[in-house]
């Protein structure tokens, strides 16, 4: 006979497998963390990581109590959040791309980011805000949690507690993988901070981030 405990363990393991595969899939979070860490901003990079994971926790809690159902059911609310997220990502990516053009136009190619570029400082707080906004302004994260999370909450289990626990699993896996990304970026930091490599890194990162914004705007 299958016990409730066994069902709970199976649900936890299945959820961990799904979000683990999602975590390993390269995407917006990966690009943002790698670029920040590659520029030598370790403090800011961890701020970005914890900002992203804070957003994950919020989506997990909201999904557990059914609030994100309002978002997915309301076309207006979903569209408003989608457009806000798209605008933010396009703005962020564009500013990175513009900074490469300014350096090419005559600024010292070895200098740090200009003050008006997103991510120009190494403060934990600014990294946290960037990561949190990137996550919370993406309604697809909320839609994913609303579609997946309830399926892994066993019958009779407290929704808020169980949902928060499952979100915690996602946060743990995401944080561990982010640590690997930061270590990888720091290992190649010297080469990536050369002017030519920096321009390539910024162009790729800016294009990827802005591209995610355009994709989000054009998505259903």
DSSP the chain: ---HHHHHHHHHHHHHHHHHHHHHS--HHHHHHHHHHHTT-HHHHHHHHHHHHHHHHHHHHHHHTTTHHHHHH-HHHHHHHHHHHHHHHHHHHHHHHHHHHHHHTTS-TTS---TTSTT-S--HHHHHHHHHHHHHT-HHHHHHHHHHGGGGS-TTS-HHHHHHHHHHHHHHHHHHHHHHHHHHHHHTHHHHTSHHHHHHHHHHHHHHHHHHHHHHHH--
In the chain, where the domains are located: 27-218
Instruction: Please tell me the predicted confidence (pLDDT) of residue 220.
Output: 54
- Provide the whole-model pTM: 0.77
Are 163 and 157 a contacting pair, CB within 8 Å?
no
Q: pLDDT value at position 92?
A: 85
pLDDT (tens digit, 0 to 9) for every residue of the chain, 220 residues total? 344 454 456 677 888 888 888 888 888 888 899 888 888 788 999 999 999 999 999 998 888 887 666 666 667 777 777 788 888 889 888 888 887 777 665 454 444 443 334 445 678 999 999 999 999 988 888 888 887 887 888 777 888 888 899 999 999 999 999 999 999 888 877 776 677 777 777 788 888 888 888 887 887 5
- pLDDT, position 50: 97
Which pLDDT does position 193 carry in this prediction?
Answer: 66
Cβ 216 vs Cβ 138: under 8 Å: yes
170/207 Cα distance (integer angstroms): 27
The whole-number pLDDT of residue 180 equals 95
pLDDT of residue 51: 96
């Amino acid at each position: 006979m299958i016990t409730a405990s066994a069902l709970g363990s199976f649900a936890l393991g299945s959820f961990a497998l799904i979000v683990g595969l999602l975590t390993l899939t390269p995407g917006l979070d990966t690009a943002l963390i790698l670029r920040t860490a590659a520029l030598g901003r370790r403090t800011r990079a961890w701020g970005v990581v914890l900002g992203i994971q804070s957003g994950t926790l919020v989506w997990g809690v909201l999904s557990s109590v059914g609030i994100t159902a309002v978002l997915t059911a309301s076309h207006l609310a979903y569209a408003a959040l989608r457009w806000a997220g798209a605008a933010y990502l396009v703005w962020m990516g564009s500013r990175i791309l513009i900074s490469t053009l300014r350096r090419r136009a005559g600024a010292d190619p070895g200098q740090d980011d200009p003050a008006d570029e997103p991510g120009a400082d190494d403060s934990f707080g600014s990294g946290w805000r960037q990561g949190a906004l990137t996550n919370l302004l993406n309604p697809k994260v909320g839609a994913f949690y609303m579609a997946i999370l309830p399926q892994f909450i066993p019958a009779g289990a407290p929704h808020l507690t169980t949902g928060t626990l499952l979100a915690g699993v996602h946060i743990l896996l995401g944080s561990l993988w982010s640590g690997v990304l930061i270590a990888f970026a720091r290992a190649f930091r010297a080469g990536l901070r050369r002017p030519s490599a920096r321009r390539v890194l910024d162009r790729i990162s800016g294009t990827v981030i802005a591209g995610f914004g355009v994709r989000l705007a054009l998505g259903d």
